[in-house]
């Protein structure tokens, strides 16, 4: 044990159920008095109590409307909660079914729950457990309802072809001393503490996504833009094409920022405009049907980032491609527009003749920039073939 852990001090507090985290679930119930109006109650005092027969418990205060309903019907459904249901879960824990129809208020859908006569399941919940009450145990503040799990229904997208259940993909929510929290990364699996190292790495690989992927010039370009652009920034997409970069930039600059887009093809302008409209971002952009070599005529304010994705429009006319002379002219203007710490990101495709020329001339031009004023990065993927896209990045210094 680390010395720092050994030295930590403790303080005694009042005895309480500080057993954390707990699950937080939406329990659905209905009774014969009004079967058309089921109720939902949020429960954190819930637990697994037996495997065979499968049993789970919920503890309810007698004052809850749902307490009376479950006592009368003898059944309830435990619906697991994912991030999409989190807000509704909080709502169902602070409003009573005595006063309003919570499901209607929240626009939640019901689904018939297997093995239940009255209690329905919440449509969309990752998992629902249909429980029949076996015993009610009065404990003091709460009554414990011991339920035998009669049926389990799992949302199909959480199961694989072999029928295995992948709850790690469900985005389940935990309740942690007053806070709803998403679950973090997978740290291990049942028995991992004694697994052989090769077994451990092989099995863990299934649950760990790469934190960062060294994939291509395009990925690097987007990583750099994401790191460099902040809400409120002014930025330029010098080659809109299908509008992917323009869309990313619009989301990064937020409602108070501005993205200037350039392309010489009307179809590129239309595609970009459509993409932005669909994403609700159109108001953040000014799109020019103009060559980027007119950049300084169209944009007069300093910008935080300029991105070039050279070449031709994917899926379009390969004859309409960026040209070395106009690219160099535009890059020079972009450098003049960059604010201190601003970045210029250029993806180049040397797999075709004009692209190879662009790369050579850009490397020369950017390689000659004074190092006190600019940092320049030239990134290639030497094992991906000579035509693989390259990325050039310039950051203006103070």
Ligand X SMILES: C[S@@+](CC[C@H](N)C(=O)[O-])C[C@H]1O[C@@H](n2cnc3c(N)ncnc32)[C@H](O)[C@@H]1O
**Which range of residues in 71-79, 92-100, 132-140, 263-271 is near ligand FMN by CB under 6 A?**
92-100
Residue 175 interacts with, from ligand FMN, ligand X, none (CB under 5-8 Å by kind): ligand FMN
Kindly state whether residue 130 participates in binding ligand FMN, applying the rule CB under 6 A: no
Dihedral over alpha carbons 226, 230, 235, 241 (to 10 degrees): 30
Site for ligand X in 210-269 (CB under 6 A): 238-245, 262-265, 268
Residue 295 C-alpha from the chain's centroid: 35
Q: To the nearest whole angstrom, how small is the minimum distance from the Cβ of residue 257 to ligand X?
A: 18
Cβ contacts of 363 within 8 Å, gap of 6 or more? 378, 392
In the bound state with ligand FMN, the residue whose beta carbon lies nearer, of 105 and 157, is 105
CA dist., res. 231 & res. 251, Å (int): 8
Kindly state whether residue 284 participates in binding ligand FMN, applying the rule CB under 6 A: no
User: What are the C-alpha distances in Å from 66 to residues 92, 93, 178?
Assistant: 11, 11, 22
Question: Which string of x and - marks every residue 41-80 that binds ligand FMN (by CB under 6 A)?
Answer: xxxxx-------------xxx--xxx--------------
CA dist., res. 263 & res. 292, Å (int): 7
In the bound state with ligand FMN, the residue whose beta carbon lies nearer, of 41 and 303, is 41
Q: To the nearest whole angstrom, how small is the minimum distance from the Cβ of residue 297 to ligand X?
A: 13
In the bound state with ligand X, the residue whose beta carbon lies nearer, of 40 and 313, is 313
Locate 82 and state its tokens. Answer: 């994912």
Identified binder of ligand X from the candidate list 21, 74, 124, 291, rule CB under 6 A = 291
Name the residue with tokens 């949302």: 155
Q: To the nearest whole angstrom, how small is the minimum distance from the Cβ of residue 386 to ligand X?
A: 19
Tell me if 145 sits within 8 A of 60, measured CB to CB.
yes
In the bound state with ligand FMN, the residue whose beta carbon lies nearer, of 24 and 330, is 24
In the bound state with ligand FMN, the residue whose beta carbon lies nearer, of 95 and 298, is 95
Neighbours of 142 (CB within 10 A): 16
User: What are the C-alpha distances in Å from 92 to residues 88, 122, 128, 271, 389?
Assistant: 6, 13, 17, 43, 53
Identified binder of ligand FMN from the candidate list 32, 50, 98, 278, rule CB under 6 A = 98
Q: To the nearest whole angstrom, how small is the minimum distance from the Cβ of residue 290 to ligand X?
A: 7
Question: Which string of x and - marks every residue 296-325 that binds ligand X (by CB under 6 A)?
Answer: -------------x-xxx------x-x---
Count helices and strands (H / E) in the chain. 11, 19
Strand-strand pairing, 285-289 and 258-263: parallel
**Which range of residues in 34-42, 127-135, 370-378, 380-388 is near ligand FMN by CB under 6 A?**
34-42
CA dist., res. 127 & res. 131, Å (int): 13
Q: Which of 4, 53, 41, 48 is nearest to 22 (CA)?
A: 48
Q: To the nearest whole angstrom, how small is the minimum distance from the Cβ of residue 56 to ligand FMN?
A: 13
Q: Which residue is nearest to ligand X (CB)?
A: 241
CA dist., res. 218 & res. 248, Å (int): 12
Cβ contacts of 313 within 8 Å, gap of 6 or more? 241, 242, 265, 267, 268, 320
Q: To the nearest whole angstrom, how small is the minimum distance from the Cβ of residue 27 to ligand FMN?
A: 8
Residue 315 C-alpha from the chain's centroid: 29
Looking at residue 244, what DSSP letter applies?
H
Q: To the nearest whole angstrom, how small is the minimum distance from the Cβ of residue 12 to ligand FMN?
A: 25
Kindly state whether residue 175 participates in binding ligand FMN, applying the rule CB under 6 A: yes
> Which residues are at the interface with ligand X (CB under 6 A)?
238-245, 262-265, 268, 291-293, 309, 311-313, 320, 322, 326
> Which residues are at the interface with ligand FMN (CB under 6 A)?
24, 39, 41-45, 59-61, 64-66, 90, 93-98, 142, 175
């Amino acid at each position: 044990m680390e010395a720092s852990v050994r030295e930590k001090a403790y303080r005694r507090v009042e005895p309480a159920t500080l057993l954390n985290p707990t699950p937080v679930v939406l329990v659905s119930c209905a009774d014969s008095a009004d079967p058309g109006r089921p109720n939902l109650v949020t429960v954190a005092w819930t637990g697994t109590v037996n495997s065979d027969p499968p049993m789970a418990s919920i503890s309810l205060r007698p004052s809850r409307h749902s307490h009376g309903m479950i006592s009368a019907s003898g059944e309830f459904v435990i619906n697991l909660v994912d991030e999409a249901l989190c807000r509704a879960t909080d709502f169902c824990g602070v409003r009573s079914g005595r006063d309003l129809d919570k499901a209607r208020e929240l626009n939640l859908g019901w689904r018939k729950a297997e093995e239940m006569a009255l209690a329905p399941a919440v449509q969309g919940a990752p998992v629902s457990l249909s429980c029949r009450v076996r015993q009610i145990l009065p404990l003091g503040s709460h009554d414990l309802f011991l339920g035998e799990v009669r049926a389990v229904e799992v949302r199909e997208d959480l199961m694989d072809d072999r029928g295995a259940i992948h709850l790690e993909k469900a985005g389940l929510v935990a309740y942690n001393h007053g806070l709803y929290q998403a679950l973090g990364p997978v740290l291990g699996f049942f028995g991992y503490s004694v697994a052989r190292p090769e077994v451990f790495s092989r099995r863990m690989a299934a649950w760990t996504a790469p934190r960062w992927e060294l994939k291509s010039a395009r990925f690097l370009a987007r990583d750099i833009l994401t790191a460099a652009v902040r809400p409120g920034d002014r930025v330029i997409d010098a080659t809109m094409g299908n509008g992917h970069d323009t869309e990313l930039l619009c989301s990064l600059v937020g409602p108070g920022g501005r993205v200037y887009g350039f392309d010489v093809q009307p179809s590129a302008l239309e595609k970009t405009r459509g993409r932005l409209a669909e994403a609700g971002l159109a108001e953040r952009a000014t799109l020019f049907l103009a060559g980027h070599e007119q950049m300084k005529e169209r944009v007069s304010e300093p910008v935080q980032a300029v991105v070039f994705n050279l070449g031709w429009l994917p899926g379009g006319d390969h004859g309409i491609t960026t040209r070395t002379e106009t690219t160099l002219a535009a890059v020079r203007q972009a450098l003049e527009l960059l604010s201190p710490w601003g970045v210029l990101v250029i993806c180049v495709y040397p797999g075709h003749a004009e692209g190879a020329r662009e790369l050579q001339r850009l490397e020369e031009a950017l390689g000659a920039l004074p190092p006190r004023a600019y940092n320049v990065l030239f990134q290639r993927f030497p094992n991906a073939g000579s035509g693989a896209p390259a990325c050039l990045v310039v950051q203006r210094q103070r």
